[in-house]
Structure 1
Amino acid sequence: MTDETLAYRATLPRPDVTAAEAGDLLQSRYGLSGTLTELGSQQDRNYCLDTGERRYVLKICHVTYETLELEAQNAAIHHISSKEGAPRVPHVIPSTDGQDIVAVTVRDQTYQVRLLEYLEGEGLTHRKHLPKESVAALGALCARLAQSLADFTHPGLDRSLQWDLRRAGPVAVQLLSAITDSAARDRIAKTMVSAVRRIQPLAPSLRLQAVHHDVTGDNVVSHRDSRGRLVPDGVIDFGDIIRGWLIGDLAVTCASLLHQADGDPLYVLPAVKAYHEVYPLTEEELRALWPLVVARAVILVASGEQQISIDPENDYVRGNLELERRIFDTAVSVPYELMEIAVLKAVGMGTAVLSTEGWRPLLPDIDPATISFVDLGVSSPHFAVGNWSQADMDWRLLARAAAETGTSATRYGEYRLSRSKLHSATSPATHTLHSDICLAGGTTVAAPFAGKVSWKNHHFVLAGEGISLHLDGIEPSIEDEADVEPGQPLGAISGESGSLGGLRVQLSTLVGAEPPLFCAPREAAAWSELCPSPAALLGTGVDAPKPASTELLALRQAHLAKPQKHYYEAPPQMERGWNEHMFDVEGRAYLDMLNNVTILGHGHPRLAEAISEQWLRLNTNSRFHYAAIAEFSERLASLAPEGLDAVFLVNSGSEANDLALRLAWAHTGSRHVLSLLEAYHGWSVASDAVSTSIADNPQALTTRPDWVHAVLSPNTYRGMFRGSESATGYLEAVIEALEGIDTKGEGLAGFIAEPVYGNAGGISLPDGYLSAVYGQVRARGGVCIADEVQVGYGRLGHHFWGFEQQGVVPDIITIAKGMGDGHPLGAVITTRAIAGALEKEGYFFSSAGGSPVSCVAGMTVLDIMADEKLQQNARDVGDYLKGRLVALIETYPLVGAVHGMGLYLGLELVRDRTTLEPATEETAAICDRLLDLGVLMQPTGDHLNVLKIKPPLCLTPESADFFVDMLEKVLSEGW
């Protein structure tokens, strides 16, 4: 095919064949009829035919496409179908007279027609987000397809095609004339020139074979895995199949992913890695990959602009053009060198190591051993109470160290806490690619290697062989553009002798570009090769230790007992907290919507100071006499209803509930206890016995001891009886269980329940339920235990205790978690009579629960809660947050209901609002995506389909908005 024919093709609109005409054609040539729907295409006219039993795709193309080309497409489909492990492909459907390709005339225009099976599945293009699992699956699919075509040959493959990346340069020149914006046209043209220059030296080494050359979101179909993620497994539309570069096939796929990359070109790396694992690529091919991606992006934009100019009614092209512009912008957003290194590292290939042999000292008058290196990382002891967010904090710490030691420096490769950003959906640029030095003004700076100098606006560059040195903060002593030798003075540190000055040092292998001072953690491995450590200039100590998260996780798993689980499959390593935020070792801030233990928020200085002061004075057990235990027990008793004035101090919620059950047994002389299904009360023997949550213990319903009587859970959303008027129905189930206990004649010890159904997602009990149940229990001599471990202590906002919402007073209150803000502390509050019953079984003590430190911690928490009005904040921010969450129900069918109040909320996700089928897998995947977006969230409930929203009570409206915004982003874009 000539270039003229190719150029002519590029100007053609789609065939002018209406749906009615297509229907006639299908009936006359294939004997088929049904409902026709037009499918998008750039230059073909495609219709989907639904006969009611099967679906087909009618493809109509111009006669400028030679029959041989169409025969090649059909032959490739047949070839792939015969290969084991190949992707699914559509079958070719012959006409009634046995032809695979039919020539037809419509209104004096001749077209070529084919009918294919409609390959069922979902496409990827219009998904705003694809998880890395889907990205990797697309790469693997592309590789399997290429493998299956490796031995396929056909004369119709050797043709000229505008999408053939071997001809990207000439094609771009032809297409650029359609772009009317001169600035955009020049930018695109320069981009293509730069890509071609990088491709040309590698071109002779690039393998040729039959390639689909269009494995994109539009041309694959997918199934959903168990978590609702799309897994591409089929390929359609072989219109671009050619004999071309193998790596060009992957480049097309990678380019197609960039519109879903949120501006991050490294997003495609899972596809590259997966492709290479299936069908290994050579180093030359991998080095050519990104320039080919850029070339593909240029052709996409230029072709889209041209096509819309000649076919303005083509909505398919118009819609794609926005995506193609996004692809182009993302492809050119980073240097080629960065992506080349990232691609090679993704498949496990190394790159050349920079040689520093023969380099001379940068600061010849300073002994490297005298430089003090300042820790500015996430775990730095210099940071507390959010001071890292203050302007110039890093420099102030550096200057303070220099004032003490003479010379101080920051560490290369460190993840700076000061660079962290709150409420950020992406990881900020926290990884340092330079070192700052604070030292005496006038100190000599010398050339470590030979090169040419240039300086402008106080930025000094020494360009050597394959490496450049970038300096800020010196007064040059040589002329611009001068050549220098190793050891030759370059200038001196700005400032007067005796005063402190600053020097910024950075190495870079980029040619003709100023490198960034920081990069995002995901880019660190690649940028660290482009901007290597200045250790050869400054001596050992300049490099910060790399996080050992993977090794530490392996160590944890090797020695920590297996039942002690961790959140997330690949958990970030958290090493700092502040208010409602946690920070991982790479400086990423996460909004903590999960941690109800830290009721005040993370890192509260007042609590830390109080605990520290008490620990320095005394810490012992509760059998000694000291003021704190008396004051704290009085304080707790004053919070409880009148008559509940006996306090036990313990270590945890499990211990509190365990003790409450022992008190019930001792007081009543009976053993039988009533509890609720779907409930969780702890892990100790007794508290676990009354826990029935199958999410926490899959065998919970079959391993309860005979003294436990679990009754129907009063779940007003998905239970047997629904709505606020359902108390009567649930009460009948309680009475039935109580009557069963009555017939045994062994008496009733009591009833334990959360006043708000916490573990099920903060579901409120039906009005009047607890009042009626408490009455039935007390009538039989039993005691009523309110488990307030999760839901009480001000968390509900509108009430300090959960039982207040039900208008009842229990006989025993159990509390823990937030009452110590993470310090091991719990309590049981009951009557003197019930407490006294335990004494006949011996005395009670808890080594840490009532210690001076624990009591001071508990009192300080209560003081801070009052002074900072945290219960009021839980009410106000909680109500605001709930309102925003409820609004999601109108837009997103997956959102079934919002439970709870204050800052104990549950958002229940269902696949069907009528059947209430739980969206278990989707909930897990949504939590994983929220982690990527900077939000900590986990599922709860027996079906693990409820987002358990229980953040620190200091949550701000801004944080509430960020949480809902990110949740809505996930619900709208996918997971």
Structure 2
Amino acid sequence: MYYTFSTTGIIKLVQEYYGLNVTGKELEGYEEANFFLEDENGKKYICKVADDTHSPSFLDAQAKILDKLTRSNIAGHFQQVLKNKKGEAVTPLIFPEEIHYMRLYTWLEGKPMVTVTGTRELNVSLGNFLGKMDQALEMFSHPAMHRYIKWDIAQALDARAQLPCIKDHEKRRLAAYFLLQFEMEVLPQLPSLRKAYIHNDANDYNVLVENNAISGLIDFGDMVHTTLVNNLAIACTYVMLQAADPLQAAVEVVGGYHQAYALTPEETDLLYYLIAARLCISVTTSAGKAAEGSDNEFHFITENGAWQLLFKLITINPVAAQQAFRLACGFPSVIQEDDAYAPLLDNRRAHIGRNLSISYKKPLKIVRGALQYLYDDKGRTYIDCVNNPSHVGHCHPTVVKAMQRQIAKLNTNTRYLHDNLVDYAELLLSTLPSSLEVCYFTNSGSEANDLAIRMSRHFTKQKDVVVLDHAYHGTSTVAMELSPYKFDGKGGFGKPEHTHKALNPDMFRGPYRSDDPQAGEKYAEDVQRIITGLQQDGKGVAAYICETLLGVGGQIPLPPGYLKSVYADVRAAGGVCIADEVQVGFGRVGDAFWGFELQEVTPDIVVLGKPIGNGHPLAAVVTTKAIADAFNNGMEYFNTFGGNPVSMATGLAVLQVIKEEGLQEHARVTGNYFMEGLEKLKARHAIIGDVRGHGFFIGAELVRSRETLEPAVPEIDQIVEAMKERGFLLSTDGPLHNVLKIKPPMVFNKANTDALLAHLDEVLASF
């Protein structure tokens, strides 16, 4: 191996094969031994020795490409190849059991770019230099450069094999996301892009600088025949590592390159994803080396910087990057003017029901999602603080791949046998109490609530249902009849005769407050009042249904002991207890996997939706065997796509992600941190009347007065709009529409929390 070569030994070999008398010292190297040498005339050289894992043909290609470049119009930027006494560019060193290969190059002066402060002039100079180099190599070719190398961005998807070596859940998820985007956005375009013989490693250690300009480029060990624009993408990546404004730094490099060697719009449009892919190759390689126990510092030299840049990159809207790179080259804009929405809005009004509302005064056109981020068509990035259906994050790579794989094989109804249906049912049931043992799958939470009520009526032979005031359970006819939020609201049809409203157990503004240790039991008495009234009328109760934390009702955790008392009374009356976990379940509350566990109860029926499929149309009803048997009364229950193979693959992937990435614990820790921050804001801003919730189910009720509890409306709407302008998507809830609703994807992190709290602090200061 090369490490057996000493400086003294190299000096003798150089004298023997090249006739030079030199002094020298060993330099650090990644895959080869490197020695700095100087002859008696003060001329400097670098000697490189490779072991027999290196192809002599490829080493010859390195010499040939340097010969080509040292005869170009940028000749002074490259090392000259010294031939040995036989006129060979590569000197074989043959030993009894192994062979090594020695090369001698002239030394290039300059500081590595990593050691100097980047400037616009330097970035433009780098781009211009690379453009001239790639243009000079237009007619170059060498068969040895048609090879596989993992550092070729075109091979980025091979980095997936090392994703398991990344132990940090958030980092692994981030790298997997960008590799998924490479597969979807870049891979289909590769065949149509220009190919070239490129250096492939213009990193900030290989690029040399003098007088704020590029003086040279060294180390051609990674060169390959691949997509031309990859060479530029790599340079952009390493410039961005050190930059305060990474995108601007990359734009400067791109502009300089285009001046020297014209790019195409298709190439610039992919640069964002190519840069991300290069970073993914780097971080997965470092993770793989760490797993192997490597102590070579060169294996980890850019690891921290690469992760920092990946976390910055996901906050940059790809449309903004595409636009910036296009404008740097004088290409047409990809961002339309604000009034371009007019035709889309007109078509929506003409063909979509008018009562399907649009969020925000100035509508958003969201074109991409990335975990906890949303990107609009104007190039803006938004932190998603409210889209709880995307439970494990927008476009989570594990979920996306599971859906893709299954839909490429089969999607059909449940009248055929399929493992996914049973596998998912068993995995889902493993998260629930043992008494809940039968699953029915549907396409939406509304449909699931409808089915749950239907089942309760079969089981009890009763029709009347008890709900909470201000509750919302969906959009089907039956679900609307359970939703005071709808039937008591504008355009509502009023309370149906068989629906009965119990007090909303609101311990902030209800009759029993948080300072009352018996509040739960007192609110529960209102349910018993309804049951007693029904019994006096000769009726029974079919079901009691409530969310285990109230969503539309105001982001309200139930009082301690509330469900325990209610469930006991309902069951004593022969009714069924239904837990609506549509917005609450799957670890969102942090302290438990299911909201009902916070109340130390077990429902008879659990209704699941939204997070179960990460936004895919999937929902479920899980119940006891006794209720399922009663429902099996001879009439077939069939749902064409409830439980289809794709939905089940999706559900399996969501549960896998929640478990493997520790998202329940993440929700607990980060949610507590979030609420602590909101409490600090409450101490500074009187408009915050109450902060409440569990995990990532958070509400902040805004009031004009903490004494009168007058709701802060329209102030809350102005706050939501102001936060949207700052890049945070929030919403309002509650009977009085004065509660900030915060239910982000479960991958929302502490950095997102800090940013939101800082901006909210500034916004609230004006109220």
Which interval holds the TM-score relative to the shorter structure? 0.5 to 0.7
**CA deviation digits over 1:743-770, x for unaligned, max 9?**
2212210100111122233312111111
Cα distance in structure 1, aligned partners of 2:750 and 2:653: 25
TM-aligned CA deviation for residue 703 of structure 1: 1.2
> What residue in structure 1 maps to residue 499 of structure 2?
708
Alpha carbons of structure 1 residues 591 and 406: separation in structure 2 relative to 1, 3 Å? closer
> What residue in structure 1 maps to residue 352 of structure 2?
560
> What residue in structure 2 maps to residue 601 of structure 1?
393
Q: Give the alignment partner of residue 816 of structure 1, picking from 609, 614, 618.
A: 609
Secondary structure at the counterpart of residue 415 of structure 2: coil
**Percent of paired sites with the same residue:** 35
Question: Structure 1 regions of 5+ residues with no counterpart?
Answer: 1-362, 367-382, 411-415, 446-517, 536-541
Cα distance in structure 2, aligned partners of 1:599 and 1:672: 33
Alpha carbons of structure 1 residues 544 and 676: separation in structure 2 relative to 1, 3 Å? closer
Cα distance in structure 2, aligned partners of 1:769 and 1:534: 65
Could you tell me whether the CA contact under 8 Å between 1:408 and 1:439 is conserved in 2? no
> What residue in structure 1 maps to residue 336 of structure 2?
546
Q: Give the alignment partner of residue 650 of structure 2, picking from 850, 853, 857.
A: 857
User: Does the alignment pair 1:845 with 2:635?
Assistant: no
Secondary structure at the counterpart of residue 859 of structure 1: helix
Q: Give the alignment partner of residue 441 of structure 2, picking from 638, 645, 649.
A: 649
> What residue in structure 2 maps to residue 914 of structure 1?
707
Cα distance in structure 2, aligned partners of 1:949 and 1:430: 35
Could you tell me whether the CA contact under 8 Å between 1:650 and 1:850 is conserved in 2? yes
Looking at both structures, which has the greater relative contact order when contacts are Cα pairs under 8 Å and sequence separation is at least 6? Answer: 2
Q: Give the alignment partner of residue 375 of structure 2, picking from 583, 607, 632.
A: 583
Counterpart AA for 2:660: D
Counterpart AA for 1:712: L
TM-aligned CA deviation for residue 586 of structure 1: 2.2
> What residue in structure 2 maps to residue 896 of structure 1?
689
Q: Give the alignment partner of residue 780 of structure 1, picking from 549, 573, 598.
A: 573
Cα distance in structure 2, aligned partners of 1:631 and 1:574: 35
Counterpart AA for 1:750: A
> What residue in structure 1 maps to residue 751 of structure 2?
958
Question: Structure 2 regions of 5+ residues with no counterpart?
Answer: 1-134, 139-174, 197-224, 231-235, 264-315
Cα distance in structure 2, aligned partners of 1:715 and 1:696: 18
Counterpart AA for 2:377: V
**CA deviation digits over 1:188-207, x for unaligned, max 9?**
xxxxxxxxxxxxxxxxxxxx
Cα distance in structure 1, aligned partners of 2:498 and 2:237: 53
> What residue in structure 2 maps to residue 67 of structure 1?
none
Alignment of 1:367-446 (within 5 A): 385-386=177-178, 401-403=193-195
**CA deviation digits over 1:730-753, x for unaligned, max 9?**
223222211111122122101001
Aligned CA RMSD, in angstroms, stands at 4.2
> What residue in structure 1 maps to residue 511 of structure 2?
720
TM-aligned CA deviation for residue 810 of structure 1: 0.7
Cα distance in structure 2, aligned partners of 1:831 and 1:780: 18
TM-aligned CA deviation for residue 706 of structure 1: 0.4
Could you tell me whether the CA contact under 8 Å between 1:646 and 1:832 is conserved in 2? yes
Could you tell me whether the CA contact under 8 Å between 1:420 and 1:589 is conserved in 2? no
Cα distance in structure 2, aligned partners of 1:635 and 1:419: 47
TM-aligned CA deviation for residue 839 of structure 1: 2.1
Work out the number of aligned pairs and report it: 501
Cα distance in structure 1, aligned partners of 2:586 and 2:238: 34
Counterpart AA for 1:870: L
Alpha carbons of structure 1 residues 566 and 925: separation in structure 2 relative to 1, 3 Å? same
TM-aligned CA deviation for residue 930 of structure 1: 0.3
Secondary structure at the counterpart of residue 361 of structure 2: coil
Could you tell me whether the CA contact under 8 Å between 1:786 and 1:803 is conserved in 2? yes
TM-aligned CA deviation for residue 879 of structure 1: 0.6
Cα distance in structure 1, aligned partners of 2:354 and 2:552: 23
TM-aligned CA deviation for residue 898 of structure 1: 0.6
Secondary structure at the counterpart of residue 648 of structure 1: strand
> What residue in structure 2 maps to residue 82 of structure 1?
none
Say which structure is richer in helix. 2
> What residue in structure 2 maps to residue 257 of structure 1?
none
Q: Give the alignment partner of residue 876 of structure 1, picking from 660, 666, 669.
A: 669
Could you tell me whether the CA contact under 8 Å between 1:881 and 1:960 is conserved in 2? yes
Cα distance in structure 1, aligned partners of 2:522 and 2:395: 46
Secondary structure at the counterpart of residue 751 of structure 1: strand
TM-aligned CA deviation for residue 402 of structure 1: 2.4
Cα distance in structure 1, aligned partners of 2:258 and 2:376: 31
Alpha carbons of structure 1 residues 958 and 943: separation in structure 2 relative to 1, 3 Å? same
Alignment of 1:85-164 (within 5 A): none
Counterpart AA for 1:676: L
Cα distance in structure 1, aligned partners of 2:653 and 2:634: 33
Secondary structure at the counterpart of residue 804 of structure 1: helix
Could you tell me whether the CA contact under 8 Å between 2:481 and 2:487 is conserved in 1? no
Q: Give the alignment partner of residue 616 of structure 1, picking from 408, 428, 432.
A: 408
TM-score, normalization: structure 1?
0.47
> What residue in structure 2 maps to residue 867 of structure 1?
660
Q: Give the alignment partner of residue 635 of structure 1, picking from 420, 424, 427.
A: 427
Cα distance in structure 1, aligned partners of 2:654 and 2:345: 32
**CA deviation digits over 1:835-873, x for unaligned, max 9?**
122222611122222000000100110011101000010
Alpha carbons of structure 1 residues 683 and 399: separation in structure 2 relative to 1, 3 Å? closer
Counterpart AA for 1:546: Q
Cα distance in structure 2, aligned partners of 1:519 and 1:937: 19
**CA deviation digits over 1:418-473, x for unaligned, max 9?**
9999xx9x9998998998597898x799xxxxxxxxxxxxxxxxxxxxxxxxxxxx
Counterpart AA for 1:800: F
Counterpart AA for 2:591: H
Cα distance in structure 2, aligned partners of 1:934 and 1:543: 23
Alpha carbons of structure 1 residues 420 and 704: separation in structure 2 relative to 1, 3 Å? farther
**CA deviation digits over 1:611-649, x for unaligned, max 9?**
111111111111211100011111122211121101001
Could you tell me whether the CA contact under 8 Å between 2:488 and 2:494 is conserved in 1? no
Q: Give the alignment partner of residue 538 of structure 2, picking from 734, 745, 769.
A: 745
Cα distance in structure 2, aligned partners of 1:849 and 1:954: 27
Alignment of 1:210-221 (within 5 A): none
